[in-house]
Amino acid sequence: MQEAGFAGLITTDRNLAQQQAVSSTRLFVIVVRAKSNRIADLRPLAPEILRAVSFAQPGQVYSVGA
């Protein structure tokens, strides 16, 4: 992802931070905690996701949602 020019990853995989060494990368990770990964459950979290993206720092993991 870094080589492709991405700054971060937004995921619903709650275990990603434990499975990957995010702190040793130049990427941030935002973990979205929603009832499901259906758009109807994710859409209400969009403002919170956008806020997290605006201040996210490389190597950090952030959690948004319930």
* d(C-alpha 66, C-alpha 63), whole Å: 9
Q: What is the pTM assigned to this prediction?
A: 0.85
Q: Please, where are the H alpha helices in 1-66?
A: 16-19, 39-42, 46-55
- Give the pLDDT band of residue 2 (cuts 50, 70, 90): confident
pLDDT in tens, 13-66: 887 777 777 777 888 999 999 999 999 999 999 999 999 999 999 989 999 998
Question: What pLDDT, on a 0 to 100 scale, did the predictor assign at position 55?
Answer: 94
Residue 45: predicted pLDDT? 97
What is the domain partition of the chain in residue ranges? 8-65
